[in-house]
């Protein structure tokens, strides 16, 4: 009895209170010190606030205050303030203890338009496993296996848990755990081998030193069962010289064919490498080539181009052709300096063996290049820390893959040009169905086509194409017409034109023939016309637009000049002796082209509106995504550590050893295990709350006339799942929302802050079950007690 | 003593004063069906005095040039017409980019004051896109236009392709659709009702929550 009395006295006594207060002070000091040294609240909490010792201190305070109160028994009136104060304290402590056991603090991530009722508890560790219902595959069975963490942060797993779970057939054994690790995604290249799904692995060559003369090796060859039935070489390297290697592989075995545009006759065939290093020469001229293959690790391949500079014998004006090597207009020879004459004098085509090239840089990122047989380039980069996209098979049960799509039916330059003509022909035929009215020159040609029994649209476009290839402002009469067109032009009745129109066509052809010769000698057009005392020179000067390139300015001036000739046709010399009927079809084609020019009809005008259609069919190559993990030294800031575990999984007859890295937010990929029977992820624990939160709108509010953020707000719809009621509210950084039963919602983050894309918020949810019936009332009672302690009559100074 | 009791009372009661979140006493929630479906797909907060134009149920709305819903704000002899269109698609690649819609609206003006043009990104309700505002001459008359061209994020679009919602496939397709809201009226009237129109547009959302993968 005496001992009980002693204990009773001690527990309610000042000495015990002092011990408790001193212990609390030491704990807080230690916690503060640890946090300041490690910058880790978690580290401090593990040793102090989250430690069982701290809860023991709280219990100690509760006992001390309770017994201190009970020691005043029997109570008198003068004890009222004291008792009220201590009841308040007991209520606050009680609330704190209940919160430490039953309270929750977690986070929720929601994107606009969607909702959630799940929060994740940071610094908890579970293995989430899910599988499909054996009978109804649409039903997902999901649960988690909890890892325990000791004082030192080491993880352990109670294997007995498996027997109580929905997957009793699944046995899980923790083999190893690491407090911190590093995880990286691997795609096409894993170690020293490359992988394309469905094909044998291929070798990856290391290139450290750069030997420009050495031919780069081929790793493998693959053959796709496609209508084109083409074989592709596979080349794979590990190096930091990505651009250089890509350029070397591209140039390796790439042949350039130079043809005469007018006749289509082959002039020269050589290695592109040679054309870049030296000049390519032939009887009629020479060419120098420049390959622009700009590549950056950040932005990838930037509009690869082949630029060709021609020098033509007997012609001072040089020509430049740009050939895009990817995109819808790739391989088309774009005449840059003499575009007013149509296509350039020479045409370039490329030829090579098709290659898939994989280059892994020293950061582990993969850069893929596909060079098809016509020299087109397709490039794509795979950054392993930030894959842009990936393919998910069977909702993850079939695994995850990276993918590349390469057009299967590559088109040559010629095929692309015909593709454009087909598109124009289709559009024209459709337009004629709606409105069959045609301009005068086209009506004339249509009549001739009807007489020759050939299709008007196809013939017209073929003529325009041929005219463009003739490299002349008007059709080059020295260029023979193909046979169907010969007949059409033999029927073409130029006599139906008025006298002025005939004179306009005739004198335009004479004038422009002379002008072309001067332009090709590099002479200035305006100077020439001034020298020839052209009467309407002022109008031509107005046509010059400094914003246009030189070639475009010349085209503008020539168009205006041609129109001027027609406008003064009645004043030009008579051409009565010229027979518009009995002339060669090529001559008619020349005169007719002048007539079309007067109506601003020529090939360049048509193709400006058309983009060659890209191939609708693709070769798709894939590689499985895998992960490599390495344990690394744990950081002092525990929040930044990524623990990993190695588990032995067993189900039915299948056993598998799998490593998992902690997914802090539980949003990453779930790994298929045991032949895709389960999906698993090592993540924080998720719990359901009785509220469903739907995010309607998240926004940043700026200071007036400024881009500086003033506040962040979110409009939420909060639905109580128990009662079915909903409430709309706006929360912001300084305005939280609190439910009647103790749930508090704080807005922690909005990403991205601006409305360039759908936004996502992070909510921190705090639940204190005892707040409204213990903690807050306790604080009020405590305050009242303190006031009464000073103001009740028994204590008032006399 | 009495002073202190009053003081305590004030101390307790003051923190409980808080601003009232609800500001929509004069608004009603209107549900809007998609194309050729009775099932409401969208909802929005509409001022009660706006006039809703209902389309006859037997009228086909297959043509996306026809709006799925219209509202009118009448003020004396003038009015603002607010039309809502949606553009269903089978694949994500078929969607029309918001800037193409904005370009189309600009081209509807015979004359457009370049100083009045505003185009800014917007994101709300799971949709992201562009807001356009401009003043000029439309159908021979001076007019102002406010327009929103919105589309779902890629993730939301894909989640709605495979969503296990109590909806038909047709309704799911309607939910995935891009939508536009266009308000046209005289400059004076549009300026007067601008805040209401903006609030209406920003309250426009799918009735069903967009599912997410966990």
Q: Tens of pLDDT along A229-280?
A: 678 999 999 998 899 999 999 998 899 999 999 888 999 999 998 888 888 8
Length in residues, chain B: 214
Q: Which helix (H) or strand (E) element contains residue A654?
A: strand A654-661
Give residue-wise pLDDT tens across range A419-441.
889 989 998 899 888 888 888 99
Give residue-wise pLDDT tens across range A334-393.
999 888 999 999 999 999 999 999 999 988 899 999 999 999 999 999 988 778 888 999
Query: What is residue A137's predicted lDDT score, i.e. its pLDDT?
Result: 79
Q: In the structure encoding, which two tokens stand for residue A372, read together?
A: 């098809």
Higher pLDDT, A66 or B58: A66
Q: Which helix (H) or strand (E) element contains residue A672?
A: strand A671-673
B93 close contact with A: CB closer than 8 A: no
Tell if the CB–CB gap between B202 and A697 is shorter than 8 Å.
yes
Residues of A with CB under 8 A from a CB of B: 111-116, 118, 138, 666, 686, 694, 696-697, 699, 727-730, 754-759, 780, 783-784, 787, 791
**Three-class DSSP category at A714:** strand
Tell if the CB–CB gap between B8 and A694 is shorter than 8 Å.
no
Query: What is residue B20's predicted lDDT score, i.e. its pLDDT?
Result: 38
Partner residues linked to A763 by β-bridges: A108, A747
CB under 8 Å to A136, separation ≥6 — which residues? none
How many CB atoms neighbour CB A241 within 10 A?
A: 16
Give the distance from residue A717's alpha carbon to the nearest chain B alpha carbon, in angstroms.
11
Q: Which residue of B has its CA nearest to A138?
A: B164
Q: Count of A–B CB contacts within 8 Å?
A: 75
Query: What is residue B19's predicted lDDT score, i.e. its pLDDT?
Result: 38
Higher pLDDT, A45 or B124: B124
Task: Identify whether B175 is preceded by a cis peptide bond (ω within 30 of 0).
Answer: no
Give residue-wise pLDDT tens across range A592-618.
999 999 998 999 888 877 766 666 678
Higher pLDDT, A208 or A209: A208
Partner residues linked to A260 by β-bridges: A346
Give the distance from residue B143's alpha carbon to the nearest chain A alpha carbon, in angstroms.
27
Give the distance from residue A697's alpha carbon to the nearest chain B alpha carbon, in angstroms.
5
State mean pLDDT over B57-68: 83
Q: How confident is the model at residue B2 (pLDDT cuts 50, 70, 90)?
A: low
Give residue-wise pLDDT tens across range A608-650.
777 666 666 788 899 999 998 999 998 888 888 999 999 999 9
Is there a contact between A539 and A560 (Cβ–Cβ < 8 Å)?
A: yes
Nearest CB partner across the interface for B123, out of A686, A728, A755: A755
Most A CBs within 10 A among B6, B91, B122, B126, hence the mutation to make, goes to B126
Assign 3-state DSSP to chain A and report helix, strand, coil percentages, each to 5.
35, 30, 35
Lowest-pLDDT choice from A146-160, A256-270, A410-424, B32-46: A146-160
Burial of A463 (0-12, 13-18, 19+ CB in 10 A): buried
Higher pLDDT, B58 or A356: A356
CA separation for the pair A297, A367 (Å, rounded):
8
Lowest-pLDDT choice from A161-175, A460-474, B139-153: A161-175
Angle at A786 between CA A785 and CA A787, to 5 degrees: 90
Sort out which chain B residues have CB atoms less than 8 A from A759's CB and list them: 123
Give residue-wise pLDDT tens across range A661-694.
999 989 889 999 999 999 999 999 999 999 999 9
Angle at A273 between CA A267 and CA A277, to 5 degrees: 100
CB contact residues (below 8 A), chain B span 13-32, against chain A: 21-22, 24
Most B CBs within 10 A among A84, A113, A686, hence the mutation to make, goes to A113
CB under 8 Å to B179, separation ≥6 — which residues? B42, B84, B85, B86, B87, B127, B150, B151, B204
C-alpha gyration radius of chain A:
42
Q: Which residue of A has its CA nearest to B202?
A: A697
pTM over 0.90: no
Mean pLDDT for all residues in chain A: 88
Q: How confident is the model at residue B16 (pLDDT cuts 50, 70, 90)?
A: very low
Is there a contact between A375 and A385 (Cβ–Cβ < 8 Å)?
A: no
CA separation for the pair A642, A155 (Å, rounded):
12
Tell if the CB–CB gap between B126 and A118 is shorter than 8 Å.
no
Say if residue A796's pLDDT is above 80: no
Lowest-pLDDT choice from A119-123, A303-307, A531-535, A743-747: A531-535
Of A585, A544, A536, nearest to A561 by C-alpha is: A536
Query: What is residue A43's predicted lDDT score, i.e. its pLDDT?
Result: 79
Q: Which residue of B has its CA nearest to A784?
A: B8
Tell if the CB–CB gap between B122 and A696 is shorter than 8 Å.
no
How many CB atoms neighbour CB A208 within 10 A?
A: 8
Partner residues linked to A270 by β-bridges: A256
Q: Which residue of B has its CA nearest to A696?
A: B125
Tell if the CB–CB gap between A118 and B124 is shorter than 8 Å.
no
Say if residue B52's pLDDT is above 90: yes
Q: Is the ipTM of this complex over 0.95?
A: no
Sort out which chain B residues have CB atoms less than 8 A from A787's CB and list them: 4, 8
Task: Identify whether A541 is preceded by a cis peptide bond (ω within 30 of 0).
Answer: no
Intra-chain end-to-end CA distance of chain B, in Å: 59
Give the distance from residue A5's alpha carbon to the nearest chain B alpha carbon, in angstroms.
40
Sort out which chain A residues have CB atoms less than 8 A from B152's CB and list them: 113, 758
Query: What is residue B18's predicted lDDT score, i.e. its pLDDT?
Result: 36
Nearest CB partner across the interface for A758, out of B12, B153, B205: B153
Say if residue B133's pLDDT is above 50: yes
C-alpha gyration radius of chain B:
21
Sort out which chain B residues have CB atoms less than 8 A from A118's CB and list them: 214
Residue linked to tokens 């030491």 = A26
Tell if the CB–CB gap between A116 and B212 is shorter than 8 Å.
yes
CA separation for the pair A775, A89 (Å, rounded):
9
Partner residues linked to A701 by β-bridges: A711
Is there a contact between A501 and A566 (Cβ–Cβ < 8 Å)?
A: yes
Give residue-wise pLDDT tens across range A498-535.
998 999 999 999 999 989 888 888 888 888 888 888 88
Give residue-wise pLDDT tens across range A4-32.
888 888 888 899 999 999 998 988 898 88
Give the distance from residue B11's alpha carbon to the nearest chain A alpha carbon, in angstroms.
10
Q: Which residue of B has its CA nearest to A142?
A: B214
Query: What is residue A12's predicted lDDT score, i.e. its pLDDT?
Result: 87
Is there a contact between A641 and A633 (Cβ–Cβ < 8 Å)?
A: no
Give the distance from residue A737's alpha carbon to the nearest chain B alpha carbon, in angstroms.
10
Angle at A24 between CA A23 and CA A29, to 5 degrees: 100
B123 close contact with A: CB closer than 8 A: yes
Give the distance from residue B147's alpha carbon to the nearest chain A alpha carbon, in angstroms.
16
**Three-class DSSP category at A178:** strand
Length in residues, chain A: 798
Helices (H), A215-255: 242-251
Q: Which residue of B has its CA nearest to A693?
A: B209
Give the distance from residue A559's alpha carbon to the nearest chain B alpha carbon, in angstroms.
29
How many CB atoms neighbour CB A447 within 10 A?
A: 16
Say if residue A214's pLDDT is above 60: yes
Sort out which chain B residues have CB atoms less than 8 A from A712's CB and list them: none
Sort out which chain A residues have CB atoms less than 8 A from B13's CB and list them: none
State mean pLDDT over A182-204: 93
Sort out which chain B residues have CB atoms less than 8 A from A754's CB and list them: 121
Nearest CB partner across the interface for A114, out of B120, B126, B202: B126
Query: What is residue A159's predicted lDDT score, i.e. its pLDDT?
Result: 64
Tell if the CB–CB gap between A787 and B124 is shorter than 8 Å.
no
Give residue-wise pLDDT tens across range A379-404.
999 988 778 888 999 989 999 999 99
Sort out which chain A residues have CB atoms less than 8 A from B124's CB and list them: 112, 696-697, 699, 755
B152 close contact with A: CB closer than 8 A: yes
Sort out which chain B residues have CB atoms less than 8 A from A756's CB and list them: 121, 123, 128
Of A100, A19, A113, nearest to A717 by C-alpha is: A113
Partner residues linked to A473 by β-bridges: none
Tell if the CB–CB gap between A112 and B206 is shorter than 8 Å.
no
Higher pLDDT, B88 or A529: B88
Q: What percent of chain A shows pLDDT beyond 90?
A: 50
CA separation for the pair A782, B8 (Å, rounded):
13
Three-class secondary structure assignment of A767-792: ECCCHHHHHHHHHHHHHHHHHHHHHC
Nearest CB partner across the interface for A757, out of B120, B128, B214: B128
State mean pLDDT over B76-93: 92
């Amino acid at each position: 009895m005496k001992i009980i009395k002693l204990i009773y006295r001690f527990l309610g006594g000042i000495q015990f209170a002092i011990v408790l207060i001193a212990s609390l002070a030491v704990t807080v000091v230690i916690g503060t010190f640890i946090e300041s040294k490690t910058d880790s609240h978690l580290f401090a909490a593990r040793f102090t606030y989250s430690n069982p010792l701290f809860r023991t201190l709280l219990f100690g305070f509760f006992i001390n205050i309770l017994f201190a109160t009970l020691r005043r028994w029997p109570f008198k009136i003068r004890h009222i303030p004291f008792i009220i104060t201590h009841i308040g304290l007991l209520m606050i402590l009680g609330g704190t203890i209940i919160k430490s056991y039953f309270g929750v603090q977690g986070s929720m991530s929601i994107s606009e338009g969607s909702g959630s009722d799940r929060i994740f508890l940071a610094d908890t560790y579970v293995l989430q496993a899910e599988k499909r219902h054996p009978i109804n595959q649409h039903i997902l069975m999901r649960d988690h296996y909890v890892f325990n963490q000791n004082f030192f942060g080491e993880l352990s797993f109670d294997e007995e848990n498996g027997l109580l779970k929905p997957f009793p057939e699944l046995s899980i054994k923790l083999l190893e755990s690491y407090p911190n690790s590093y995880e990286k995604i691997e795609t096409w290249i894993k170690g020293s081998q490359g992988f394309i799904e469905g094909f044998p692995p291929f070798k990856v060559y290391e290139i450290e030193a750069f030997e420009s003369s050495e031919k780069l090796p081929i790793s493998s060859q693959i053959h796709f069962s496609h209508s084109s039935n083409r074989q592709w070489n596979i080349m794979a390297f590990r190096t930091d010289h990505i651009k250089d290697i890509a350029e070397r592989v591209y140039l390796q075995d790439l042949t350039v064919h130079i043809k005469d545009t007018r006749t289509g006759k082959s002039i020269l065939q050589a290695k592109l490498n040679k054309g870049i290093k030296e000049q390519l020469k032939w009887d009629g001229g020479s060419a120098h080539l420049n390959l622009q293959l700009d590549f950056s690790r950040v932005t990838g391949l930037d509009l690869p181009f082949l630029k060709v500079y021609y020098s033509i014998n007997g012609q001072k004006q040089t020509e430049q052709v740009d050939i895009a090597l990817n995109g819808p207009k790739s391989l088309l020879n774009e005449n840059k300096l003499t575009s007013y004459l149509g296509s350039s004098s020479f045409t370039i085509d490329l030829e090579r063996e098709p290659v898939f090239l994989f280059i892994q840089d020293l950061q582990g990122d993969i850069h893929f290049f596909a060079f098809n047989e016509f020299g087109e380039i397709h490039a794509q980069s795979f950054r392993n820390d930030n894959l842009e996209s990936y393919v998910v098979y069977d909702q993850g049960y079939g695994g995850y893959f990276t993918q590349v799509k390469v057009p299967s039916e590559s088109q040559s330059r010629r095929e692309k040009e015909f593709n454009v003509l087909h598109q124009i022909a289709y559009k024209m035929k459709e337009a004629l169905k709606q409105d069959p009215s045609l301009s005068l020159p086209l009506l004339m040609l249509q009549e001739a086509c009807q007489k020759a029994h050939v299709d008007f649209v196809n013939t017209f476009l073929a003529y325009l194409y041929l005219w463009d290839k003739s490299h002349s402002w008007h059709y080059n009469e020295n260029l023979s017409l193909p046979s169907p067109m010969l007949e059409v032009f033999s029927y073409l009745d130029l006599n139906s034109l008025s006298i002025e129109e005939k004179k306009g066509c005739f004198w335009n052809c004479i004038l422009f023939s002379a002008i072309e010769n001067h332009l090709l000698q590099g002479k200035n057009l305006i100077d020439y016309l001034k020298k020839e005392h052209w009467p309407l020179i002022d109008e031509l000067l107005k046509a010059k637009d400094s914003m246009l390139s030189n070639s475009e300015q010349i085209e503008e001036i020539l168009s205006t000049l041609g129109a001027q000739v027609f406008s003064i046709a009645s004043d030009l010399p008579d051409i009565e002796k010229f027979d518009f009927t009995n002339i060669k079809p090529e001559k008619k084609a020349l005169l007719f082209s002048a007539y079309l020019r007067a109506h601003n009809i020529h090939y360049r005008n048509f193709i400006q509106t058309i983009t060659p259609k890209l191939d609708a069919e693709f070769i798709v190559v894939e590689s499985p995504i895998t992960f490599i993990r390495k344990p690394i030294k744990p950081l002092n800031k525990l929040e930044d550590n990524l623990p990993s575990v190695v588990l032995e999984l067993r189900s039915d007859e299948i056993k598998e050893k799998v490593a998992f890295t902690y997914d802090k937010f539980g949003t990453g990929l779930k790994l298929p295990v045991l032949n895709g029977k389960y999906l698993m992820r090592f993540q924080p624990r998720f719990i359901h709350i009785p509220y469903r939160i739907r995010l309607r709108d998240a926004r940043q509010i700026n200071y007036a006339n400024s881009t500086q953020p003033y506040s962040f707000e979110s409009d939420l719809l909060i639905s109580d799942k128990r009662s079915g009621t909903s409430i709309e509210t706006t929360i912001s950084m300084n305005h939280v929302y609190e439910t009647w039963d103790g749930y508090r919602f704080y807005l922690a983050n909005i990403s991205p802050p601006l409305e360039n894309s759908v936004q996502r918020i992070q909510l921190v949810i705090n639940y204190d079950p005892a707040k409204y019936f213990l903690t807050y009332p306790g604080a009020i009672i405590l305050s009242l007690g303190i006031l009464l302690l000073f103001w009740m009559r028994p204590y008032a100074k006399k | 003593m009495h002073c202190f009791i009053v003081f305590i009372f004030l101390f307790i009661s003051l923190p409980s004063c808080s601003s009232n979140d609800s500001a929509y006493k004069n608004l009603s929630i209107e549900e809007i069906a998609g194309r050729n479906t009775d099932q409401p797909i969208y909802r929005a907060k509409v001022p009660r005095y706006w006039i809703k134009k209902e389309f006859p149920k037997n009228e086909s709305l297959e043509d996306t040039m026809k709006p799925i819903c219209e509202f009118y704000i009448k003020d004396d002899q003038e009015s603002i017409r607010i039309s809502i269109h949606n553009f269903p698609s089978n694949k994500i690649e078929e969607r029309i980019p918001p800037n193409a819609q904005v370009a189309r609206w600009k081209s509807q003006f015979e004359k457009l004051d370049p100083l009045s043009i505003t185009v800014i990104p917007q994101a709300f309700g799971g949709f992201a896109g562009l807001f356009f505002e401009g003043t000029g001459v439309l159908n021979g008359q001076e007019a102002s236009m406010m327009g929103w061209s919105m589309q779902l994020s890629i993730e939301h679009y894909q989640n709605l392709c495979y969503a296990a919602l109590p909806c038909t496939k047709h309704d799911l397709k309607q939910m995935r659709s891009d939508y536009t809201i266009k308000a046209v009226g005289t400059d004076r009237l549009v300026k007067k009702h601008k805040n209401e129109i903006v609030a209406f547009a920003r309250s426009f959302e799918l009735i069903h929550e967009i599912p997410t993968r966990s």
